[in-house]
Structure 1
Amino acid sequence: MHTVNLGILAHIDAGKTSLTERLLHAAGVIDEIGSVDDGSTQTDSLALERQRGITIKSAVVSFVVDDIAVNLIDTPGHPDFIAEVERVLGVLDGAVLVVSAVEGVQAQTRILLRTLRRLGIPTLIFANKIDRRGATYDQVLQGISTKLTPATVPMGRLRDPGTPGADFTLFDGADAEFTTRATEVLADHDDGFLTEWLDAGTALPHPRIRRELAAQTKRALVHPVYFGSAATGAGVGPLIAGIRELLPTADGDANGPLSGTVFKVERGPAGEKIAYARMFSGTLHTRDRLRFRGDDAEKVTAIDVFDRGAAVHRASVAAGEIGVLRGLAGVQIGDAIGESRPGTTHRFAPPTLETVVFPRRRADLGALHLALTQLAEQDPLIDLRQDDVRQEISVSLYGEVQKEVIQSTLAEEHGIDVGFRETTTICIERPTGTGASVEMIGKGGNPFLAGIGLRVQPHSGVDFRLEIELGSLPSAFVKAVEESARETLLQGIHGWRVTDCLVTMTYSHYLARQSHAHGTFDKSMSSTAGDFRNLTPLVLMSALQESGTEVSEPLHRFHLELPADALGTVLPVLARLRAAPGTTTMRGSSCLLEGEIPAARVYELQQQLPGLTRGEGVLDSAFDRYEPVRGAIQARPRTDRNPLDRKEYLLRLRVAGR
């Protein structure tokens, strides 16, 4: 039996969780369809998911279509949880992108299809809610073509849209509408097919068009479009047939070298880690040992594999399958099982907001840190920052809804009541020039038995290089300097993470291992890795001060659709929010405005937009790049020992060493 690992993606409220329920029901996995409103669906298991009717965590279910096993992964639609979607993309064979036939293409829909196309993930488009008042056919197809991609092929016709009896029937070989549209789109992406069509001098046979459609869909060149209703089941049968015919099945050799990826980690009832992994090659067995980092290998104690809607115990999980693994206490999201695979970089922008989380009861501070650490294991982009001086913990965010999720999770799962400070924007620092600093043993108040010279300069990415003679410094000391330098760059002169910086070690000196006569090793006479680790922040920050740094803030590119007569009202607001409008395209009584806006002002624009546009404005924004801050530079409170203040830094080191 072949396997397809299928992602269901959509803008919030487009109906993807309801579609998941309908697919499971159509395949005979469940007898009764659950309701998002009632909180009875198979994939929304968190209390907050059931309360709010939104998906927060990805969930895996399965069903069988003829000889194909489908592992279906339901993903969040709210943009605040885009990191959860990101982790799923790397394990998919194909995707279904759900669009509302009432609202049409929405902001998150654009971001998702752009990403799916960039990654080459074969995708079908399903226009849901054809039974709802306001559902359309031509307008939705036009919106998909103009706002998403023209490389689409409608797969059938819609009858009685906007009524409870709305239905969708597939085109067949006699439909000239399908033949013409499909042939033109397919010819745009394959010169050989174009030549075949021109040589024929007439319409190509329907089976030939279907074969080419399947081939190009599997190469993510074109996207078949289906219509239907998850509520009534209309159009779901044709969609299932499309999944079977048009999407590729998982490849990979079950007897090949072991290779897989962990894309989700959660905690079981007893607090144990449970890892979800997609296998790309080889077979993983219970009692096999895996090494993720360091020298210690961990044993897989149990494996579940998804089969017809349920996770069942198996002795192994093979290439193409998704397994639920237990016994791996040190596993983290993104870990490779066996051989690592290329292309595991972020598909979406990192979070650009952060806030301080504080316990309502001071006595819960320690428990809060432990609980947030566990949450960060399940969502690495939470990125905790512990400030021991102020006794504060900061977390990074994509948006305000994440606060509610964190607050609810901490209360329900850990019994901790928390509050939040004001959300702030995460900036970065970049060196603006070249700076250098040197500390020598026994000179200039250097209390460490280490000599270090470092030079910093602008660079693409963060890198560490050596200009000292190879072998002149023990490798353990070099490693200590590099690790300390990278850690120090997490907080630059203004407290922000330093990026695009090359650190070069230009000088080194150490005292070889020594001891008193007939005595044991004496670290007061000999250099240690700790000497180099502790001296590095002082040298590096001194070099950064000489080079200077520029603070940059995240900038979003936005697309704003609004009534044409509201443009004059919106433009002054955009100016006040420091947005830079770009091109304006008129579309009858509406217009599309594109431009750039600081990430810090996006939420404010979202809040004001309904009142400015009579509720008709649609905003789509996504991180684009970092730009230098204009005006006053906001400093970020430091959470380290503050190597910018030599006296304070050395004092804290002494206190910590007692």
Structure 2
Amino acid sequence: MHLLNLGILAHVDAGKTSLTERLLHAAGVIDEIGSVDDGTTQTDSLALERRRGITIKSAVVSFTLDDITVNLIDTPGHPDFIAEVERVLSVLDGAVLVVSAVEGVQAQTRVLMRTLQRLRIPTLIFVNKVDRAGADPERVLRSIAERLTPAVVPMGRVDRPGHRDATVTPYTAGSTLFTSHLLELLADQDDDLLAAYVDDETAVSYDRLRRALATQTRRARTHPVFFGSAVTGAGVDALIAGVPELLPAPRGDADAPLSGTVFKVERGPAGEKIAYARLFSGAVRTRDRVLLRAGADDTSTGVPVEGKVSGIGVFDQGATVRRDLVTAGQIGKLWGLGGVRIGDSIGPREASGDEARGGGASDDGASDDGASGGGPGASGRTPRGGHFAPPTLETVVVPVRASDKGTLHFALAQLAEQDPLINLRQDDIRQEVHVSLYGEVQKEVIQATLAEEFGVDVTFRESTTICRERIVGTGEALEVIDKDGPNPFLATIGLRVEPAPVGSGVAFRLGIELGSLPLAFIKAIEDTVRDTLAQGLRGWQITDCTVTLTRSGYCPRQSHSHAVFDKSMSSTGADFRHLTPLVLTAALQRAGTEVQEPMHRFRIEIPADAFGAVWPVLTRLRAVPRAPLTTRTSCVLEGEIPAAHLHALEQQLPTLTGGEGVLESAFARYRPVTGPVPTRARTDHNPLDRKEYLLRVVRRVSTGSRADT
């Protein structure tokens, strides 16, 4: 039997979860269709989801169509939970993008479609709510062609749109306009079809057209558009028939080397980790040992973790069923992988268990925080990560009861397992916890989750924009071992920093001979470099740079005559971990950094007579609009605006346009800050202030510096 992993994606309130319910009902998985408003849907299982009527976490359900088993993944529609969607993209064979026949193409619709096209994920479009007042399928179809993709094929006609009894009639071989449009569209992508069309248009059979449509849809070149209503069921049968016909259901090779990816992690009733994994090849059995390699977006430097699978669950007709085996193509729930993280790739066991991420400390005292070498093996398939922007907001989480500080940190750590992009940041100096956010709704969800699941009541400080720092030049620094000098550590470290291309991340390189420094000490330096770069000269994370270890030295292990190890005579990992921030910071000061702020691109549709009111506001909010596109009745403004001012624009636009303004926005890029440079309070021991740093780290003050170029 073929397997198809199908994602359901949409802008919030387009009817995505209702469509999922209708598909499950049509497949015989559920006897009664649940209601989002009543909190009775199959996939919105969290109490918070049922109460708020929105999807927060992705959910998987399974049903059968002909000889295809479909794992249907319902995803959140609200932009604050875009990270959940991103993780699902790594496991999809195809997608259904839901668009409301009333609201039409919305901001999130465009973001999702651009991403699906960039990843070449075969996608069907379902125009939902044709039975709702205000539904205009023809207008929405034109909008899809103009704003999403011109390569669309309407698969049916809607009769009596906007009425409860609206029906959908699928096009057939006898629909002349349909076959003519289909032939013209497909011929642009198919030379053989074009040649046959040029020779004799009537010689191209309808069956050949349908086969060509399936081929081009599976290659993500063409997007069939279905119409219907998830509530009444109108048009859903045509969509159901189109899924197995038009979307790929590849057979995985269960005999090939194991390869998979983890896209979701949750905690079970007993607090145990449960990993949701898609297998692309191979198989996993209960009691198998597998390797978990850090995903492409993982900023840690951990080597593979070895874990033993203690239990397996697969999705079958709407339920999770325990099995002893999960094979290629399937999505399975795996128990027993205590070290698993979202984004990890799963591969065959290749090494001993002592290679676990962050394995024990070595005899020479090196760091136990993990080593470099993550990433999937040759047989692994990396997750398609990093397709949406990172969070651009940050807030401080404050417990209402001071006694809950410990519980709060534990609870947030568990939430960070399920959503790593909240980027838990602990400020030990001020005893504060920071989290990253996409928006205010996400903040409300975190607050409710902490109260309901962990019994911790919290408040939040005002959200602030997350900037970043970028190195603008090259800088070097050196500290050498000198027991009588200002360097109190038994370590010699020389570092050079230089900028790297945007999006390349942080690279750590060796400019010393291999063997000249124990690997444990190199690991300690690299780990500390990455940690230190989380706070640049003005407190923001430094990205896209290369750090080279240019010089090193250490004191070998020494003992007294009675063979007792003397730490004061021998270098340890702690010496290198404590010295690295001082050297790296000195190098950064010589290289220089600039603070960059996140920019969002925007598109505003306003009445023509509102232009005079909106334009000055855009200027005050430091937006950079392009030349407006105006008609007699409307005006379209596009451009970029600092993320810090986007919320103010959202709040003011209804008043400025009499409620008729429509705003779309999405992250665009980072650009250098203009005006006063924002800073962020440090949460480390502040290596920028040598005296303060040494007081905090070793309680020893040394004046002067041996940092040298």
TM-score with structure 2 setting the length: 0.90
Match of 1:454 in 2: 495
Would the alpha carbon gap of residues 645 and 26 (structure 1) be closer, same or farther in structure 2, given more than 3 Å must change?
same
What does the per-residue CA deviation read over 1:84-115, in whole Å, with 9 as the maximum and x for residues that have no partner? 00000010110000000011100100000000
AA aligned to 1:35 is S
User: 2:434 aligns to what?
Assistant: 394
Report the CA distance shift for 1:336/1:296 in structure 2 as closer, same or farther (over 3 A).
closer
Deviating more after overlay: 168-177 vs 83-92: 168-177
Q: Is the 8 A contact 1:5 1:250 kept in 2?
A: no
Offset at 1:588?
5.2
The residue correspondences of 1:158-237 to structure 2 (distance < 5 A) are 158-202=158-202, 204-237=204-237
Aligned match of 1:651 = 695
- The aligned residue for residue 394 of structure 2 is 354
- What CA deviation, in whole Å up to 9, does each residue of 1:574-623 have, x standing for no partner? 11111000142235522322100001111111122222222222211111
Residues 261, 382 of structure 2: 8 Å contact kept: no
1:323 aligns with 2:328: no
Residues in 1 aligned to 2:287 and 2:632: alpha-carbon distance in whole angstroms: 65
Shift of 1:646: 1.0
Please state whether the residue corresponding to 1:365 is helix, strand or coil.
helix
Q: Of the candidates 344, 364, 371, which is equivalent to residue 335 of structure 1? A: 344
Structure-2 separation of matches of 1:449 and 1:344: 43
Question: Aligned partners of 2:138 and 2:305: how far apart in 1?
Answer: 59
Report what 1:609 is aligned to. Answer: 653
1:642 partnered with 2:686: yes
Alignment partner, residue 595 of structure 2: 551
- The offset of 1:67, in angstroms, is 1.1
CA distance, structure 2, for counterparts of residue 307 and residue 581 of structure 1: 51
The one-letter code sitting in structure 1 at the alignment partner of 2:492 is: G
| CA pair 118-67 structure 1, distance change in 2 beyond 3 A | same
Question: Alpha-carbon deviation of 1:518?
Answer: 4.2
1:498 counterpart SS class: coil
Q: Which residue of 2 aligns with 1:302?
A: 311
Q: Is the 8 A contact 1:432 1:547 kept in 2?
A: yes
Q: In 2, are the aligned partners of 1:113 and 1:148 still within 8 Å (CA)?
A: yes
Please identify, of 639-648 and 231-240, the stretch whose mean Cα deviation from structure 2 is larger.
Answer: 639-648
Alignment partner of 1:483 is 2:527: yes
Equivalent residues of 2:599, 2:641 under 8 A apart: yes
Q: What is the alpha-carbon distance in structure 1 between the residues aligned to residue 635 and residue 383 of structure 2?
A: 38
Shift of 1:654: 2.6
The aligned length equals 656
The amino acid that maps onto 1:8 is I
How far residue 199 of structure 1 moved from its aligned partner, in angstroms, is 2.3
Q: Unaligned stretches of 5+ in structure 1?
A: none
Matched-pair identity in %: 67
Any idea what SS the aligned residue of 1:527 has?
coil
Moved more, 215-224 or 527-536: 527-536
> Is residue 377 of structure 1 aligned with residue 386 of structure 2?
no
User: Any stretches of 5+ residues in structure 2 without a counterpart?
Assistant: 293-301, 348-378, 701-709
Distance in 2 (alpha carbons) for counterparts of 1:100 and 1:82: 19
Q: How many Å separate the matches in 2 of 1:496 and 1:613?
A: 37
> Alpha-carbon deviation of 1:655?
5.9
User: Any conservation in 2 of the 1:429–1:550 contact (CA below 8 Å)?
Assistant: yes
- Greater Cα offset, 145-154 or 286-295: 286-295
Deviation at 1:488, TM superposition (A): 0.7
How far off is 1:201 after superposition? 4.2
Tell whether 2:607 aligns with 1:563: yes
One-letter identity of the residue aligned with 2:406: G
Could you tell me how far apart the structure 2 residues matched to 1:201 and 1:60 are? Answer: 44
Cα distance in 2 for residues equivalent to 1:448 and 1:249 = 60
Question: Where does residue 56 of structure 2 map in the other structure?
Answer: 56
Offset, 1:260: 1.1
Q: Distance in 1 between matches of 2:115 and 2:600?
A: 16
Q: Does the CA contact (< 8 Å) of 1:134 and 1:162 recur in 2?
A: yes
- Report if aligned partners of 2:187, 2:194 keep a CA contact under 8 Å in 1: yes
**Change in 2 beyond 3 A, CA 1:500/1:335:** closer
Q: 1:440 aligns with which of 480, 489, 502?
A: 480
Deviations 1:20-70 (A, max 9, x none): 011111111111111000010001111221111111100111111111111
Question: Using the alignment, how far apart are the partners of 2:424 and 2:250 within structure 1?
Answer: 36
Q: Superposed, which structure 2 residues align to 1:122-133 within 5 Å?
A: 122-133=122-133
Q: 2: CA distance between counterparts of 1:296 and 1:175? A: 58
Q: Is the 8 A contact 2:345 2:383 kept in 1?
A: no
Distance in 2 (CA, whole Å) between partners of 1:336 and 1:478 is 26
Structure 2 Cα separation of the partners of residues 270 and 177 of structure 1: 60
Deviation, 1:294, is 5.4
Q: Secondary structure at the match of 1:291?
A: strand
Distance 1:343 1:385 in 2: 25
2:494 corresponds to which letter in structure 1?
A: G
TM-superposition CA deviations, 1:391-446 (whole Å, max 9, x none): 00000001110111000000000000000001001111111222221111116400
Conserved 8 A contact 1:55-1:77: yes
User: Could you say what secondary structure the match of 2:628 adopts?
Assistant: strand
Partner of 2:633: 589
- Give 3-state SS (helix, strand or coil) of 2:92's partner: coil
The equivalent residue for 1:500 is: 544
Give, in whole Å, the separation in 2 of the partners of 1:459 and 1:347. 20
Q: Could you report, residue by residue, the CA deviation over 1:545-576 in whole angstroms, capped at 9, with x for unpaired residues?
A: 12211000001111222222222211111111
2:611 maps to a residue whose letter is L
Instruction: Give the Cα separation in 2 of the matches to 1:422 and 1:138.
Output: 44
Relative to structure 2, which stretch is displaced further, 414-423 or 332-341?
332-341
RMSD (Å), alpha carbons? 1.5
Give the drift of 1:480.
Answer: 1.6
Does the Cα contact within 8 Å between 1:430 and 1:458 map onto a contact in 2? yes
In 2: Cα distance, 1:295 partner to 1:73 partner = 28
> Which residue in 1 is equivalent to 2:93?
93
Spell out structure 1 runs of 4+ moving beyond 4 A: 293-296
The whole-number CA distance in structure 2 between the counterparts of 1:453 and 1:300 is 44
Compared with structure 1, are the counterparts of its residues 587 and 123 closer, same or farther at alpha carbon in structure 2 (3 Å cutoff)? farther
Q: Which amino acid aligns with 2:381?
A: R
Distance 2:632 2:221 in 1: 31
Structure 1 window deviating more from structure 2 (78-87 vs 522-531): it is: 522-531
Does the 8 A contact of 1:107 with 1:618 survive in 2? no
Change (3 A) 1:295 1:597: closer
Stretch of structure 1 that moved more, 68-77 or 469-478: 469-478
Cα deviations across residues 217-264 of structure 1 (Å, max 9, x unaligned)?
000001000000011000000000000110000331012111111111
Aligned partners of 1:251 and 1:280 also within 8 Å: no
Q: Distance in 2 between matches of 1:11 and 1:54?
A: 11
The residue type paired with residue 11 of structure 2 is: H
**In the alignment, which of 354, 375, 385 is matched to residue 345 of structure 1?**
385
Counterpart amino acid of 2:630? M
Distance 2:206 2:635 in 1: 40
| 1:397-436 equivalences in 2 (<5 Å) | 397-436=437-476
Structure 1: how far apart are the matches of 2:601 and 2:563?
67
Change (3 A) 1:309 1:154: same
The within-5 A match list for 1:509-548 is 509-548=553-592
2-structure distance, mates of 1:188, 1:605: 42
Looking at structure 2, the residues matched to 17 and 519 of structure 1 have their Cα atoms a distance apart, in angstroms, of 69
Q: Which amino acid aligns with 1:260?
A: G
Give the counterpart letter for 1:83 in structure 2. Answer: A
Counterpart in 1 of 2:375? Answer: none
Deviates more, 1:589-598 or 1:121-130: 589-598
Deviation at 1:177? 1.3
